[in-house]
Structure 1
Amino acid sequence: MQINPSILSADFANLEAELMSIASADMAHVDVMDNHFVPNLTLGTAIVERLAKVSPIPLDVHLMIEHPDKWAIGYAQAGASSVTFHLEAATEPIDLARRLRAAGVKAAVAIKPATKVSDIAHLIQEVDMLLVMTVEPGFGGQPILVETLEKIAQARQLIEGSGARVALQVDGGVTESNIAQLASLGADSFVAGSAIYNSPDRANQILRLRGLALAASNPK
């Protein structure tokens, strides 16, 4: 069970310190938005490169941008350990996944709430992780969309049926109150922003979220 705090909820004036405060997490989730694919603008390759140099944990870069076929490799070269692109934005997703892997990073594909899990079936053998968005991408702090929950179970079924070793990540509205349910549906990687960064003890909160997910995935 991986807990990947989203630095979208961090203090952007103190990102090095904010990364240090989540050193007990598995990866730092870095949201890259271009104000075209989603209605928000965050950061680019230059900042990711600097973050990679100071982060105590690997970077899980989530590209919410147009034309990832053109830009994704730059984030691998900037120091990301995992690069996620959106199925809805990629022109040649299989080729992009293969190029990311060839660049030495994990390749991941994300789907928005309205995209069917079946649309990703042809890619499942080509990626290391599938990200199911449980909110509309663009802004942190949104409540989870209940209608996306069934997609987590569908995604787990797809992964198990393929025989591939693929992580199943959920991103959007993950909290203490729902992480157990998400884990029971089949998720094993969790992006949490405000649920961690709003806590006065982030290390303990990471531990608590991981424990809740583990307990739900291994019921007695």
Structure 2
Amino acid sequence: MPSAQRKSGRPLKSEEPALPRQELDKALVFGDVKALPDGSTMTSYASYRELAERFGVATSLIANYSREHNCLRRREEAKTRIATKADQKLIELRATAIAVSKDDALKMIDGYLLGFEEALAEGRVRVDNPTDFNTMVRLKEFVMGGADSRQELHASFSLEGLQARHAQALRVARETTPAERGEVDAEVESEDKESDSASHTSDEILASGQSRRLMSQDA
């Protein structure tokens, strides 16, 4: 019996194969995930022609479905959602790694502090130089987010600084007058200066008169 020959021309609508809408929608919106040689994956999107050949339908049917169901717009929205979730996952992984490293650091610091306590009790460390102990305590505060982790500036005074301030104050005191220092009233000091000046002037006049008398007697 001869096999049925395929009719030429475009098949009737009733003869077209059923369109797998769910698979087509997934391919149009989410694409196909392909494995790469290095073990990673990538997402690719087949063209309308490739999808038509895959599902055995006309290219126009694929295009109409994509347009009617807003597949291209949904594809971009899906990309955005996937990228956002991927970023959140990376943030979670990074936060977990930081938390683990922080816990490990705190464990090591606590171990050092316990060892320091034992060495101190046994007399194996000096008690007059607790530099290492202070450093580790401050480091623990820093790791835990305590006061030492905040960038603050505190004013402090050293012995050298106080001595320099005292020397400067003495120098200023020597270079200023009592009135400028507020020890006496400025008017009183001015009167004292005028009286001193008048006294010096009268003394000079008397001395000059005595000198002239002596010179006349000698003559």
TM-score range, shorter chain: under 0.3
TM-score (norm 2): 0.18
For CA contacts below 8 A with separation 6 or more, give which structure has more relative contact order.
1
The structure with the greater share of residues assigned to helix is 2
Higher alpha-carbon Rg: 2
The structure with the greater share of residues assigned to strand is 1
